């Protein structure tokens, strides 16, 4: 195609030269024809030479704006070059758009991405990787990654060249994090390092492990005692009635202890289930407080002075069963951790300033040292393990309180002084105050 086009253009040049030369030859003789042909060919050659020079100059900085204009064969050449240049520009634009799309996708990814060359130098990394490894692309590009990610396990993982399993890496900076790091070799000896922040999952996993260990431990003790008693009874040739009665009483205590533990565990699991939001109603807190005072009196069996002050008639929107269980735990703790002769003051009163009403239980009991206070609502956290167990505690009471209050957007304040007593206060937000039904009881303690 091209050859034919060039050939036809050359022909288009040769024919007029031959024709003009022939006419000049017919008029002026052979020399004149030869001179005319030489002249015409020289003009044609000068034209070609000029265009070649323009092309050479243009090729130094090819641009559509500066593309020379010409005629004949050169017009086709320049048109072809313009087409080529446009196609190349389009290709470059498509390519840079594709690169930009990948860069943006990489930047938006929550996982960290680092591209390393064959010598483990950083070629590129995304913002998540900058956060995970404390890198800064502008500063650290072309640096050896092991100079910057300095944990020895990372260097070993890189060197081992077996990347089947991810590496769990704890980073001390810029903030403490647990990362799952995976290396993927690709292309021409390059490597892609991906990192995922699994700090949260690691914490949940640790909590799960601790929880299972705690529950097993809590159940093992009473179970061991029960099994021991059963074996003793079983090994006796004849069962003495008195011994059997005493043993059965102790066994029943251990059974009750396990029962309480399982009940508290079920309560906690129900509270934690997100598919189980609390059924809400208007709760008469004054009546609930009076019920709790009666429960406290029954639990105390006359060993404590128990007082209730109902200074506010507010009802709250909430789940009565959950609130009863939470406040019941506060009251039972007050009774259990207050020696005989002590005093327990319960109150339902309006809060200060913009705060809603509060239910408080104050005791004159053993109190708690301040460093224990932040951890009291953790599951199975006990200040005095022996005392908690001896009084039938499961170590889950305050964890239940915390969950219930959380579901009601209320908070728990704890004030305590060793040897002087403690005050646990549940403070409701103002928006939890419910309208009091028309036919409700008047205020009275």
**Shortest approach of ligand ADP to residue 209 CB, angstroms?**
20
Query: Which positions from 192 through 231 interact with ligand ADP, judged by CB under 6 A?
Result: none
Token duo for residue 276: 């189980």
| Distance separating alpha carbons of residues 91 and 61, to the nearest angstrom | 18
Q: x/- string (CB under 6 A) for ligand ADP, residues 304-343?
A: -------------------------x---xx--x------
Tell me: does residue 395 bind ligand ADP (CB under 6 A): yes
Q: Which stretch binds ligand ADP (CB under 6 A): 47-55, 152-160, 247-255, 386-394?
A: 386-394
Q: Angle 199-235/241-272 helices, nearest 10 degrees?
A: 160
First to last CA, the chain: 109
CB of 256 to ligand ADP, least distance (A): 14
Residue 106 interacts with ligand ADP (CB under 6 A)?
no
Distances (CA, A) of 365 to 299, 309, 334, 414, 417: 15, 19, 7, 14, 9
For residue 415, state whether it binds ligand ADP (rule: CB under 6 A): no
Q: Is residue 383 within the footprint of ligand ADP (CB under 6 A)?
A: yes
Nearer to ligand ADP, 334 or 433 (CB): 334
**What is the phi/psi pair of residue 180, to 5°?**
-100, 115
Q: Does 376 bind ligand ADP (CB under 6 A)?
A: yes
In a 13 Å sphere around the CA of 189, the CA atoms on its Cβ side amount to 5
Identify which of 153, 12, 29, 154 has the alpha carbon closest to the alpha carbon of residue 71. Answer: 12
Cβ proximity to ligand ADP, 112 vs 365, nearer residue? 365
Annotate 256-274 with b (16+ C-beta within 10 A) or e (fewer): ebbeebeebbebbeebeee
Q: Residues 21, 171, 422, 425: which binds ligand ADP (CB under 6 A)? A: 422
Residue partners of 427: CB distance under 8 A and separation at least 6: 351, 355, 356, 358, 410, 411, 412, 413
Q: For residue 292, state whether it binds ligand ADP (rule: CB under 6 A).
A: no
Query: Is 283 one of the binding residues for ligand ADP (CB under 6 A)?
Result: no
Query: With CB under 6 A, what is the number of residues at the site for ligand ADP?
Result: 22
Does 267 bind ligand ADP (CB under 6 A)? Our answer is no
Please tell me whether residue 360 binds ligand ADP under the rule CB under 6 A. no
Which of 36, 125, 363, 407 forms a contact with ligand ADP (CB under 6 A)?
A: 363
CB atoms within 10 A of CB 234: 8
Identify the helix (H) or strand (E) that includes residue 247: helix 241-272
Q: Which is nearer to ligand ADP, 112 or 421 (CB)?
A: 421
Among 112, 318, 357, 365, indicate the residue that binds ligand ADP (CB under 6 A).
365
Instruction: Indicate the residue among 163 and 381 with the shorter CB distance to ligand ADP.
Output: 381
Tell me the C-alpha distance between 144 and 412, whole Å.
51
DSSP character for 351?
A: P
When the beta carbons of 287 and 382 are compared against ligand ADP, the nearer one is 382
DSSP tag of 333: H
Altogether, the residues listed in the chain come to a count of: 445
- Candidates 89-97, 172-180, 292-300, 375-383; binding stretch for ligand ADP (CB under 6 A): 375-383
Residues that bind ligand ADP (CB under 6 A): 329, 333-334, 337, 363, 365-366, 368, 376, 381-384, 388, 393-399, 422
């Amino acid at each position: 195609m091209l050859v034919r086009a060039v050939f036809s253009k050359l022909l288009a040049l040769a024919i007029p030269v031959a024709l003009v030369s022939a006419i000049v030859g017919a008029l002026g003789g052979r020399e004149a024809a030869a001179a005319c042909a030489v002249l015409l060919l020289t003009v044609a050659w000068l034209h070609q030479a000029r265009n070649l020079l323009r092309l050479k100059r243009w090729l130094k900085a090819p641009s559509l704006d500066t593309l020379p204009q010409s005629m004949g064969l050169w017009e086709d050449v320049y048109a072809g070059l313009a087409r080529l240049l446009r196609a190349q520009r389009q290709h470059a634009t498509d390519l840079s758009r594709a690169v930009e799309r990948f860069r943006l996708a990489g930047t938006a990814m929550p996982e960290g991405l680092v591209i390393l060359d064959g010598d483990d130098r950083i070629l590129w990394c995304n913002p998540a990787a900058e956060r995970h490894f404390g890198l800064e692309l502008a500063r650290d590009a072309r640096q050896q990654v092991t100079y910057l990610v300095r944990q020895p396990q990372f260097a070993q993982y890189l060197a081992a060249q077996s990347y089947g399993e991810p590496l769990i890496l704890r980073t001390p900076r810029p903030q403490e994090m647990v990362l799952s790091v995976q290396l993927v070799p690709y292309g021409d000896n390059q490597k892609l390092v991906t990192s995922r922040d699994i700090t949260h999952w690691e914490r949940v996993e640790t909590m799960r492990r601790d929880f299972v260990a705690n529950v097993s431990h809590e159940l093992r003790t009473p179970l061991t005692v029960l099994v021991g008693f059963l074996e003793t009874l079983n090994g006796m040739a004849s069962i003495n009635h008195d011994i059997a009665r005493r043993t059965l009483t102790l066994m029943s205590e251990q059974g009750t202890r396990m029962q309480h533990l399982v009940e508290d565990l079920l309560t906690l699991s129900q509270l934690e289930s997100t598919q189980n939001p609390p059924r809400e109603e208007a709760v008469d807190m004054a009546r609930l407080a009076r019920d709790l005072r009666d429960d406290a009196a029954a639990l105390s069996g006359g060993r404590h002075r128990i007082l209730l002050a109902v200074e506010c008639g507010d009802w709250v929107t909430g789940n009565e069963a959950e609130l009863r269980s939470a406040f019941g735990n506060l009251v039972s703790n007050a009774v259990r951790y207050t020696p005989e002769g002590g005093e327990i003051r319960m109150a339902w009163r309006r809060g200060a300033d913009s705060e809603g009403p509060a239910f408080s239980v104050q005791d004159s009991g053993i109190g708690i040292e301040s460093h224990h206070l932040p951890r009291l609502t953790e599951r199975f956290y006990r200040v005095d393990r022996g005392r908690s167990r001896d009084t039938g505690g499961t170590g889950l009471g305050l964890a239940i309180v915390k969950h219930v209050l959380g579901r009601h957007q209320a908070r728990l304040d704890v004030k305590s002084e060793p040897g002087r007593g403690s005050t646990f206060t549940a403070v409701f937000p103002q928006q939890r105050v419910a309208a009091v039904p028309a036919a409700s009881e008047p205020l009275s303690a």
